[in-house]
Amino acid sequence: MSKIIAPSILAGNFLKLGEEIATLNTIPDLWYHLDLMDGHFVPNLTFGQPLLEQIKTVAKHPLDAHLMVSNPDFYVKALRDFNLHNITFHIETLPQPENFVLSAKKDYKSVGLSLRPSTSETVFTHNLLSNIDLLLIMSVEPGFAGQKFIESTWDRMAYFKTLKKKHNYKYQIQVDGGVSDKNSHQLFEAGAENLVTGSYLFRQTGKYLEAIQKLR
């Protein structure tokens, strides 16, 4: 099973983003996790198309956009030409998630869905789970890097891992929030195939390779 690590650019040093990306480009099996927040779905505002455009020119790893926005219809159109590897939306923002996913899949090679820690797993129907490429399990309340991992995530992972096995769903399980070398091994064992890392990684300036090796 693959062990993708997805550095969350949000937690990096924005004033040295080019250097951060140049270093990360040399480390294998990474995705760049790009947290787009609109100050409405979550109480924080990050970055949008202008920065994505620049990141795209230097990034040598797949781009993974995590959209925490109240108007997904706008962004699904606006980001079509950014050559994203994966785009993930929050189910709480989608009045008709099944239609939305089917339509997004026409423009993106990989479409993911995420849920807040407080959202019930049962909103994910069989139809939805059989059509998404990635399931992003939020292990903190979306909005900020540097928060503490929520322990109820373990039950949630067991739920989605069991369903995946039972129905042979193809979605990749990604976990986002409070990931560190203290929980990464257990997360991979619990079914994660892709771990987002923000503050754990970026506070270890100059030691990104070692930090990522520890996560794996």
CB neighbourhood size of 57 (10 A) = 8
What is the Cα–Cα distance from 114 to 70, expressed in whole angstroms?
A: 14
What is the Cα–Cα distance from 108 to 36, expressed in whole angstroms?
A: 17
Partner from Zn ion, ligand DX5, none binding residue 143, C-beta < 5-8 Å depending on class: ligand DX5
- From residue 101 to residue 140, the character string flagging contacts with ligand DX5 as x (rule: CB under 6 A) and all else as - is ---------------------------------------x
Among 111, 156, 176, 212, binds Zn ion (CB under 5 A): 176
Annotated catalytic residue 35: yes
How far is Cα of residue 194 from the mean position of the Cα atoms in its chain?
8
Q: Residue 158: what are its φ and ψ, rounded to 5°?
A: -60, -40
Q: Which is nearer to ligand DX5, 96 or 174 (CB)?
A: 174
CB of 61 to ligand DX5, least distance (A): 15
- Please state, in angstroms and as integers, the Cα–Cα distance from residue 142 to each residue in 94, 135, 213, 214, 216, following that order: 16, 15, 26, 25, 24
Residue 183 corresponds to which tokens in the numbers above?
């929980």
Q: Any contact of residue 8 with ligand DX5 (CB under 6 A)?
A: yes
CB neighbourhood size of 166 (10 A) = 8
**Three-class SS state of 169:** coil
Q: Any contact of residue 87 with ligand DX5 (CB under 6 A)?
A: no
Stretch that binds Zn ion, among 35-43, 48-56, 151-159, 163-171 (CB under 5 A): 35-43
Q: Any contact of residue 24 with ligand DX5 (CB under 6 A)?
A: no
CB of 85 to ligand DX5, least distance (A): 16
> For residue 183, what is the DSSP state?
T
Q: Any contact of residue 12 with ligand DX5 (CB under 6 A)?
A: no
Stretch that binds Zn ion, among 17-25, 54-62, 64-72, 115-123 (CB under 5 A): 64-72
Q: Any contact of residue 199 with ligand DX5 (CB under 6 A)?
A: yes
Among 72, 112, 178, 191, binds ligand DX5 (CB under 6 A): 178
> For residue 130, what is the DSSP state?
H
CB of 157 to ligand DX5, least distance (A): 16
CB 6 within 8 A of CB 194: yes
Annotated catalytic residue 133: no
| Binding positions for Zn ion, rule: CB under 5 A | 35, 66, 176
